[in-house]
Chain A
Amino acid sequence: MTGQLGWVLRALFSHWRRHPLQGMCLVVGLWLATALWTGVQALNSQARDSYDRAAQLFGGSAQGVLVSPGGQLFEQQLYISLRRQGWPVSPLLEGQVAIALADGERRMGLMGVEPLSLPKQGNLSSSMAASESLVRFLLSPGRTWVATETFIELELSAGDALQLADGRTLPPIEARPGLPPGMLLVDIGIAQNLLDQPGRLSQLLVDHDFAADRPQLPDGVKLVWDARSEDDLQRLTDSFHLNLTALGLLAFVVGLFIVHAAAGLAMEQRRGLMQTLRACGTSLSLLVAALLLELLMLALIGGSLGVLSGFALASLLIGDLAASLRGLYGAQVAGHLSLDAGWWVAGLVMSLGGTLIAGGSSVVKAMRLPVLAWARPQAWRDAQKRSTRRLALLALVLLVSAAGLVVWGSGLPAGFALLAAMLLGSAWLLPLVLQTLLRLGQMLARRPLAQWFWADSQQQLSGLSLALMALLLALAANIGVGSMTEGFRLTFTGWLDQRLAADLYIRPETPAQAIAISAWLDTQPSVLSQLPSWQVQTQVGGWPTEISGVIDHPLYAETWPMLDATPNAWAALAAGKGALISEQLGYRLGLVTGDRLLLQTPSGAWSLEVAGRYADYGNPKGQLLVSAARLNELWPGLEVGSLGVLVESAAIVDLADSLRQHFDLSRSRVIDQSALKAYSRQVFEQTFAATGALNTLTLGVAAVALFTSLLSLADSRLGQLAPLWAMGLRPVQLAWLSLAQMLMLALFTCVLAIPVGLLLAWGLVDVVNVQAFGWRLPWHWFPAQWLTLIALALLAVLLASAAPLWRIVRVGPPTLLRRFAHDA
């Protein structure tokens, strides 16, 4: 049996020897599909691993913690007081520091912990158990622990001491596996010094079992129960990762189109061979086993290459992705890729599964193969004509479901289902639409050659339809995603210009410094106005939200970009009766202008009217603008979070410099408007860098699909072109005719891709974006972008057609004659 299987395999493989390009196309299709899919999965799993580590640092996702009611820092004495009453609490201080690196500053999270009292449940506690490293950590000068990935990413070596932007030095670095990336972990005392918060804490961790039933706090301890916010991070970034996954899946599907095309063609071309094998006594089960084995081998080759390339692709993109997650969500993701065995296996399994789906139909056909029937090379084309109608029917079902989802669907998964149904439905409808168009052309044609042109195009359509569908999908995705990103860019830039109205933004280091800076600014003649603001981080309706208190100043009313507002919005706000809410908070809470909102404050409930909504692009959290005066009454002890300053424009740079000098402030604490805008734009660009790259690659995959199909067809084309040659057409003429056919089909597809792409863009902007991020973008048209894409697609078609056409021109009359005679 094994010997026989060997012979059958050898016979089947001889096909690939004679058609190496076809084999290559199959492998390349698998390769690309697997690479894009696994690449995206690598990015996602890397990010999830980073979030998990943060969540597991102190044990479990819902780690109970104690915080001050307004979220401010509190005195360490509360920690001592609770410990002395037997509470198993551990102090924590978190903040941000600007690290001076060779290529500029980088903001990183600094976390101060007290290792002896850490709750035993967390990962950190167990990694603290080794006593020698623990003593090094505790004892002056202490140690700075960073994740191994961050250690590698920053190109550190053991014992290096990082410097803050203000020149102060951190304790020597030690790499620790399992820490969340992008975070500096030091002893609590060191953190208090580096963050200029001596004797103050931001949280108390509580032993897991003790915290389980949230016991009531002793009298005099003004803290409240909360949960660590790592869960928020997971929630906030979920939609981002879902977007990436959808894009990866799209690329995978497009890649499988290639595999399907190549496998189907190989099946048809080997029909005779298989019948011969069956006639020679090969059992059906053996033949099927051999075909499956062959698919498996191809899948392994393509899949392995794909997984390797996926890793390379992810390594290239992880830096941008980490930067945009940091910029958008403050989420720290390791910029150095490290993946476990599970990821590699999952990639291969996905590739095998994909191959079975894409190539399985060929095997099924082989099983139905009649042993004695004469080989009919054209049979599958007939079948495909029937299937065109079946496909169109399925497409209609999908499009109807899409319409249903528009009306009744809700939530992000429904949004993606809508997009998938719409895209796939459009793709499956494509052959029928093209066929109808071509038939129309045929009806209008009068001359024989023109009639042949249209008729033959229809004949070719069946062979090309899969590749054209792939092209349609890729083009539509590019148009859709491009419209969304460009639209976002346009909106975002305009919005940023309005929103950042002050000339200088200052973040004081301490409350005392805030007062000193403010007093100093009062003495500066170039200062026109000061706009201090106070922030409270809290949750509103279960969603992480920042409440920002602003003073009554006409600049806000003049510049703040509103979506809608009541006529006296700013007056209501100043009176402490109204609040302005960000668009995303409005969506989350289902609030519109005019509704009422109840805020929980340390001094009781605060009822506010929603006086207006404003756009707050790029902010995953909700935001709420209220009167600073009232906010400070209700949240006593708040500190000025930031200070905007209006300055005579000629004096901005000088004032910033003298501020930095006078108060010894780091560069990152005094930022002028243009620098802040540049930073925001940079975050924006990074966000779409990974998306853009994946998108371009998808288009590349479609081009390869087209190339594959054309190559496969070129062989049989000779037989169809030979009669024309026999009737007197020159090979060059034939080549031109073929090229015209190709370009016409591609052009039709491109033109059809525009409405599909716009539908997709609508879905992204009006459905997915709103669900995922909570903002709706104004609609923009980008015809120049579409034309560029179409030109690119046609160029790809031209390139893909070149080689097969060249063959037509090159073959001499003898070959054509032979084919003519043979096929006839």
Chain B
Amino acid sequence: MMPRVILAMLVLAVTACDNAPPGQSGFAGLGGEAAGFAKVTPGRELVFPQDHGAHPDYRIEWWYVTANLTDQTGKQWGVQWTLFRQALSPQTAEAAADGWASAQVWLGHSAVTHAQGHRHADRLARGGIGQAGVKVEPFEAWIDDWSLRADASGNLDRLAVSAAGEGYRYQLELTSSRPLVQHGEQGFSRKSTGEQASYYYSQPFFEVSGQVEWQGESYKVQGQAWLDREWSSQPLAADQQGWDWFSLHLDSGAKLMLFRLRGDQQHYQSGSWIDPDGVSRSLPTEAIKFEPLDSIKVAGRHVPTRWRLAIPSEQFEITTQALNEQAWMGTAIPYWEGPIQFSGSHTGSGYLEMTGY
């Protein structure tokens, strides 16, 4: 789910880093050098709840919620809530909290999608002054009036998420009793055959209920949601121009995360198969087959909104279909993100994100 990072940078091209060469590398500059920032290395144990908070010594970071919902008439909805953090220069935690001198920039994206419509909005804020940020205890991530916050218990098991944009507004309750899932090697998630990597964990088991308001009409919704947490300093290799990322809720109760980073010569692929009890196993590059089927034209670009995905070792082969093919996020750095449904060896719903098209 790293891709999201990008967006942040987009707004503030990565060349902000004093030592970085001008010009962009990778999608939105995410492949640029990360001199002065902390490095993502294997073997670092994730510590909670501290790691739910921000890591200003790393360049980029995000808190990402996607939800597949159904209203009382059976109509399907997709909801996205994202908060990105980007450090314009390496900084200690104290400096990052020091008012306007903070080099942290926060970016929020939210969207609501159904079969006939897709609306999105973004928010941008400086760090250090309280307009946007993340608190660990009790957990709260916010930018302006958008927030993702824990209830009185203070941990990530029960969250409330809300955002609003032109013509929409939502307020959802998220609950889960299952553990967090750490991707890759105990949360160390490789992004290339080189040094590119991120720390990456998820809570894919949220049950959701709440309200979505669309054009002034209110809809009671329920369904499933997926929370991603990821941070890094250099998540992309210089030749990686974009990615395709899937988060899937299987009707069997299992969850599946798959991504593919598209390089000039070869693509880097990875994923996690998560059993209904929360036990997960990493999927290596060669275990996964991505096959884009039909492309459609959206915002002047050709984007593959139908895919065939296969993991032969798991007897898994599905075809995915977008709920709304026009789920384009026309933000400063644009990308496609929207709810999907799938069928084949398994059925279910999920979210797809595609960048760099």
List chain A positions with a Cβ less than 8 A from chain B: 76-77, 79-80, 83-86, 114, 116-117, 131-132, 134-135, 138-140, 187-190, 192, 198-199
Contacts and interface: CB of A to CB of B under 8 A. Distances in A.
B99 A84 contact: no
B100 A189 contact: yes
Given A117-B124, A139-B103, A80 B129 contact: yes
Contacts of B130: 77, 80
Contacts of B145: 83-86
B12 A135 contact: yes
Given A116-B105, A132-B13, A86 B88 contact: no
Given A80-B129, A84-B131, A116-B126, A188 B100 contact: yes
Interface string B91-109: 0000000011101010000
A84 B105 contact: no
Contacts of B15: 132, 135
B142 A84 contact: yes
A80 B11 contact: no
A139 B88 contact: yes
Interface string B317-354: 00000000000000000000000000000000000000
Contacts of A188: 100
By DSSP majority rule, is chain A's interface helix, strand, loop, or mixed? Answer: helix
B144 A83 contact: yes
B125 A116 contact: yes
A85 B15 CA distance: 33
A192 B89 CA distance: 22
23 contacts: A80-B131, A83-B125, A83-B131, A83-B144, A84-B144, A85-B145, A86-B145, A86-B164, A131-B12, A131-B13, A132-B13, A132-B15, A132-B16, A132-B22, A134-B12, A135-B88, A138-B103, A138-B126, A139-B88, A140-B89, A189-B100, A189-B101, A192-B100
Minimum-distance CB pairs A-B, first 4: A189-B100, A86-B145, A135-B16, A131-B13
A271 to B, nearest CB: 73
Contact of B124 (A84, A86, A116, A192): A116
Interface in B285-306: none
Interface string B113-147: 00000000000111001110000000000101100
Interface string B13-35: 10110000010000000000000
B124 A139 contact: no
A190 B16 CA distance: 19
Interface of B: 11-13, 15-16, 22, 88-89, 99-101, 103, 105, 124-126, 129-131, 142, 144-145, 164
Contact of B99 (A131, A132, A199): A199
Contacts of A85: 145
Contacts of B101: 140, 189
B164 A76 contact: no
Nearest to B125: A116
A86 B144 contact: yes
A85 B12 CA distance: 25
Contacts of A192: 100
A190 B131 CA distance: 18
B124 A187 contact: no
Contacts of A80: 129-131
Contacts of B131: 79-80, 83-84
Contacts of B16: 132, 135, 139
Contacts of A84: 131, 142, 144-145
Nearest to B126: A116
Given A83-B144, A84-B145, A86-B144, A114 B126 contact: yes
B11 A131 contact: yes
Given A116-B124, A131-B12, A199-B99, 5 more contacts: A86-B164, A132-B15, A138-B105, A189-B100, A189-B101
Contacts of A139: 16, 88-89, 103
Contacts of B11: 131
Nearest to A140: B101
B13 A187 contact: no
A163 B214 CA distance: 54
B268 to A, nearest CB: 27
A134 B86 CA distance: 15
B62 to A, nearest CB: 18
A198 B144 CA distance: 22
Q: Which of A86, A116, A134 has the most CB of B within 10 A?
A: A116
A116 B8 CA distance: 13
A140 B126 contact: no
Nearest to A189: B100
Contacts of B144: 83-84, 86
B107 to A, nearest CB: 9
Nearest to A130: B13
Contacts of A79: 131
A666 to B, nearest CB: 24
Nearest to B128: A189
Contact of A117 (B89, B99, B125): B125
Nearest to A131: B13
Contacts of A190: 100
Contacts of A116: 105, 124-126
A116 B129 CA distance: 13
A140 B145 CA distance: 28
A93 to B, nearest CB: 11
A132 B145 CA distance: 28
Contacts of B142: 84
A170 to B, nearest CB: 16
Contacts of B164: 86
A139 B36 CA distance: 15
Nearest to A114: B126
